[in-house]
Structure 1
Amino acid sequence: MALIEFTLSAADADIVGSPSWRWVAYGFGAFWQPLISGDVSPIFPGQTATMFVTHAFLHGGPMHLVLNSVILLALGKYISARIGPAKTMLVLLLSAVGGGVAFGFISTSSAPMIGASGAVFGLIGIWQTWDYLSRRRLRLSIQPVVSAMLGLIFANFVLFAFLDGGLAWQAHLGGWVVGCISATTFVRN
């Protein structure tokens, strides 16, 4: 992700290639809801399938990449220590796909959806589900988990408004659901 964003940022600054590289990359790798609805034809055979994964490797700039990467690294390290790197990578992949599925079915936007936030929210879903299950098992209050979930919902509303609708909350929801399901199935703790 970092190499892709570094290259696209350098192209944006006219250091290498062309400033058009970012939109070319988005054209080929971003998630486009109009491809799902059939309003637009794919650029290449299989694009409708590959975009469920490739969108997670593209970002809207260095800050977008940093925000996703910090959470991926922090939670990824924690979760990987508990379930191993192979299962962590599988969860990241499935959560990115889940984010694409939710975005494809819920969103009506014709704008491209990019970023690893579906995968990020998959890790958050695992973490919150493990916390919930642990608290239930120990007969502790689940209030901290509920507060964290409400905080995530509120943060998504605020960011959606602040970014003037430029937040793919649907991808966050899809990734989170995949994470919660993963935490109760193949990455059970």
Structure 2
Amino acid sequence: MTAQDLPMPHRPRLWLPLPLLVVFLGLPALIELLLIAGDLGWLPLRGVRSLAYQNGAFWAGLLDNWRPNYAAQPWLMFLTYSFLHAGFGHLVGNMVALVVLMQLVARRLTAWSFTAVYLISAIGGGLGFALLGQAVNPMVGASGALFGIAGAWKWIDWQRVASGPARAWMILRDIALLSLLNLVIWVTEGGALAWEAHLGGFLAGLAAMAVLDRRAGPGPRGG
């Protein structure tokens, strides 16, 4: 057998398909750039940020007795808020985190399963904010979905360790580190942190990954 006859070694995938990058990286970036252009008067879009927040941000009051701007708003906001951001710095921070997290889960999630985890986590983030939050201000940002992807990653990580004290310690350590991260961000942002969305997103992503793992069954998985 010659070298040409040998099968090429499998190279682990480090990136998810291009359409996912366009949707989850490109779309939020495009939206924020248009909002910035409107803020600066570069385009005839002045006031568009306020309009975008009014119609696309997560308003917990819409689940109570507030009147929506359109009939589907109380439902669509569970997803639309994750594509809006509070400014360029907010966008960059979330997109950098998403790039890192994509590489961490790309070997285990297909395009469809990543999309499912991301969207379920965004919904979970909205639920967490609605159930635990007290703010009347709107929520925007992809961080609920990002913490959900982090939850999926940690689920994958935890399954590499046999059940017992070692896994329990690993879980406690990771939860403590994530809690510390939220505390640091909360302090640096002057309390302007939707930790409720982070918690809801993390739990939703964790649960979604557990279901996907169960459906996949034993053995190596990829995509």
Per the normalisation by structure 1, the TM-score is 0.91
Q: Quote the Cα distance in structure 2 between the aligned partners of 1:137 and 1:145.
A: 11
Determine if contact 2:104/2:153 at 8 Å carries over to the other structure.
no
Q: What amino acid does structure 1 have at the position aligned with 2:117?
A: V
Q: 2:52 matched to 1:25?
A: yes
SS at match of 1:184: helix
Determine if contact 1:107/1:170 at 8 Å carries over to the other structure.
yes
How many aligned positions are there?
Answer: 188
Q: What amino acid does structure 2 have at the position aligned with 1:159?
A: I
Which residue of the other structure, out of 96, 117, 120, is the alignment partner of 2:146?
120
* Larger-gyration structure (1/2): 2
Per the normalisation by structure 2, the TM-score is 0.78
Q: 2:29 matched to 1:2?
A: yes
Determine the structure 2 residue equivalent to 1:163.
189
Determine the structure 2 residue equivalent to 1:41.
67
Q: Can you give the 5+ residue segments of structure 2 that lack an aligned partner in the other structure?
A: 1-27, 215-220
SS at match of 2:127: helix
Q: Deviations over 1:78-117 (max 9, x none)?
A: 3233121111011100000010011111111111100001
Aligned residues with identical type, % of pairs: 35
Q: Quote the Cα distance in structure 1 between the aligned partners of 2:209 and 2:47.
A: 41
Q: Quote the Cα distance in structure 2 between the aligned partners of 1:172 and 1:21.
A: 27
Q: Can you give the 5+ residue segments of structure 1 that lack an aligned partner in the other structure?
A: none
SS at match of 1:146: helix
Runs of 4+ in 1 over 3 A off after TM superposition: 137-145
SS at match of 2:137: coil
Determine the structure 2 residue equivalent to 1:61.
87
What is the CA-CA distance between 1:156 and the residue it aligns to? 1.1
Q: What amino acid does structure 2 have at the position aligned with 1:183?
A: M
**What is the Cα-based RMSD across aligned positions, in Å?**
1.9
SS at match of 2:134: coil
Determine the structure 1 residue equivalent to 2:127.
101
Determine the structure 1 residue equivalent to 2:23.
none
